[in-house]
Amino acid sequence: MFILTGGLISFGHIVPFAVEKGVAEDLAALGMGILSVANGIGRLVFGALWDRLGRKKTMALDALMMGGSGTTDAFFALWS
């Protein structure tokens, strides 16, 4: 459960981190905006799923999606 709720902690550090890694400040800010909009949409979608599927199934789906995303990120990090 802790892993599923800790993602918002990093939001405030994304733009400075990207700029430190060489990304232009305006592009980093755009990325932050896109991430924020996607976060809002995801909350609405998972809220609707919570109502239809129930707590356990929705949390399991969320964990699977986050695990898949993390695995994909790790894979691409090795090849970049």
Phi/psi of residue 24, nearest 5 degrees = -60, 145
Q: Is the pTM above the cut of 0.75?
A: no
User: What confidence category does residue 70 fall into, taking pLDDT thresholds of 50, 70 and 90?
Assistant: confident
SS3 content of the chain, % helix, strand, coil (to 5): 90, 0, 10
Q: Is 19 within 8 Å of 28 (Cβ atoms)?
A: yes
Domain boundaries, the chain: 9-79
Q: Please give the angle made by the CA atoms of 49, 62 and 69, to the nearest 5 degrees.
A: 135
- Tens digits of residue pLDDT in 1-50: 455 555 667 777 889 999 999 999 999 999 999 988 988 898 899 899 99
d(CA 28, CA 21): 10
pLDDT value of position 4: 55
